[in-house]
Chain A
Amino acid sequence: MKNQPSTEQGNDAPDAEPVAQPPASGRRAPVRAQSTRRKFIRSAFMVGGVLGLAMLGYIPVASASRSRLRPPGALEESDLLSSCIKCGQCVQVCPVAAIRLDDMASGFGLGVPYIDARAQACDFSCDAVQCILACPTGSLTYRKPASLATRAGMPLAHAPVLKAKEMDAEPTLNLAERIGVARLSRPDACLAVQGRSFSGLARGADHLGRLRDVAVDRWKPIALRDHPYERDLCNLCVSECPIKDAITMNETIAEDGSKHYRPQVLEQCVGCGVCEMICPVDPAAIVVEPRQPWRA
């Protein structure tokens, strides 16, 4: 190898990337300027396109096209959407897999947890509201900061007593607000209102829902499709409700002496949706109205 004396340093840093075009006058500059201009326009279009697509996510939110039932302890909807980091840790801890993550059709709601109560309600099989415990950002919370909004009718009068824990030293759930409220939406379809009995599988052999039954196993929710019910008067929404004093069967005696029945939702209803899941009528005669306050 030839060692050149290092005297030619005045000419260091030569241009390594040879320019493809001939350095002819007048031609080069416009081509380069044109390509720079094209690149700039292309970039501007991309910024507009990506941001436009992103903002499309506002449409489903603004039109409130779906009113989702959120997991227990969820903040008010707008606070939930701003604080949820979409990690699904709440999904992972739920023993009955009631919580799912929303899809792109919900716009900014993508990845935010919800409960489809008819398919699988929150039955508090976890005892301690595990999803709240798992949430890293406080989207689901036991006690929300005073600065965040609370609507009238959302706070519960007192901590709800979990029927499954009634014999425990601490029978209540750490839950300050309801996530919705149940309503007998189709009283004419209700078996109890019709004075009818019910026997068999509440939701048929294909339903995948599970429900805690302390009489069977406190820690292992049973599959509804394996567990037939036998009732002279259908009262599944009342008997299977996990919360004490949240729903009752009203009995009235008419002038002719005949007895009439009607499930009545009480103020302690937290909106868990078990009544909606268990209702054997299709579509359900009783449903949870997501995020709705208690109205006397």
Chain B
Amino acid sequence: MSQLEGLRVMFGAAPRKPVVVTPEAKQVHSLKRMTKADFEALKQHARDHNLVTHKWRNRRWAVLLLVNLLFTFSFWLDIQMLEGALTASRLVGFHLIDLNSALQVMLAHKHIIVNLFIGTATVFVIWALLGGRSFCSWVCPYHLLAEWFEWLHLVLVARKRVSDHEFHRGVRAVFWVVFALLAMSTGYTVFETLSPTGILSRALIYGPSLALGWVLLLLVFEVVYSRRAWCRYVCPIGLTYGMVGSISPLRIEYRLEKCFHEGDCRKVCLVPHVLDVVIKGRAAALHTPIGPDCTRCGLCVDVCPSGALVFTVKGLDRLL
């Protein structure tokens, strides 16, 4: 997926078939037109050698819990490693400020002090290196809760008790713009009033609040009405980090030659539109980096039975 196409899809457009396909990719596409028996045999072979694990999911959950507990214990035990909350903090004294929160404050207050700038720049560099939306899946506490409730949603869907109602993905871009305009015009950081990320982070550190009721309401909505609705269609934090991640060297890469087009990856993905490339015939090249909206959560890497999706760092291939 080209950079521009990735951005286009992140802002809500539907993925398109590629116009230019490299000769190598064309060859692989055509090689894959074989008999069903051949295909099944090959698939079984690949399956035998690549058992589905939860490696990346477990690593990710461990990191997410560790980061959030570090906040909590820095305050509770007064170890002062990571003071503050996810919106703004100090890591052994160095300012870290969440990009979206910083944006809201800058737009609302229209006055930027040095510490705010330093913290924002530091976090920008960190997430530009680490993949942008990897903030979502590796740090955001709401992501973890939503992931657990998503499991409940999928169980209920399988039993035909509820069904998933999709929204247009473009509304997330609309929300991003509207929240920015609201901050600028009203002078209040309107989004922060609703942000489950901030609410949960503060609740973990400073104790429970009434606002947790709102978070619970969101989770219930996601279970009974629309799968992962907040992360997929609303949260401007995700879009902010997505824009940062568009320049990141750390991403998931798709390997056409190893793919059997079974679609398991798209079923577990929070943002399946980024995996449009795995549909048979869609890959324009042998190796394709997944677009900026990808949260680098690794669920697709774990679930792929034939190792067609891998973590890569641009320029440092096969490091991970």
Contact = CB atoms under 8 A, between A and B. Distances in A.
Interface of A: 1-4, 6, 8-9, 12-17, 39-40, 42-43, 46-47, 50-51, 53-55, 57-58, 61, 78-79, 81-89, 91-93, 100-101, 103-105, 107-108, 110-111, 134, 136-138, 145, 147-148
B189 A92 contact: no
B258 interface: no
Contacts of A58: 186, 188
B57 interface: no
Choose among A2, A13, A103 the residue with the greatest number of B CB atoms under 10 Å from its CB: A13
A92 B84 contact: yes
Identify whether the interface residues of B are mostly helix, strand, loop, or mixed.
helix
B48 to A, nearest CB: 16
Contact of B105 (A46, A137, A147): A137
A13 B202 contact: no
A87 B85 contact: yes
A54 B179 CA distance: 10
Given A54-B194, A136-B115, A1 B202 contact: no
B116 interface: yes
B95 A136 contact: yes
B171 A47 contact: yes
B163 interface: no
A257 to B, nearest CB: 56
Contact of A12 (B26, B101, B108, B165): B26
Contacts of B174: 47
Choose among A3, A53, A87 the residue with the greatest number of B CB atoms under 10 Å from its CB: A87
Interface in B148-177: 165-168, 170-171, 174-175
Contact of B34 (A4, A15, A82, A83): A4
Contact of B165 (A42, A79, A101, A145): A42
Choose among B21, B98, B186, B191 the residue with the greatest number of A CB atoms under 10 Å from its CB: B186
B105 A83 contact: yes
Contact of B210 (A88, A105, A147): A105
Given A8-B30, A137-B109, A110 B192 contact: yes
Nearest to A102: B209
B109 to A, nearest CB: 4
Nearest to A13: B281
Contacts of A39: 166-168
Contact of B90 (A53, A54, A61, A89): A89
Interface in B17-47: 17-18, 21, 26-27, 29-31, 33-35, 38, 41-42
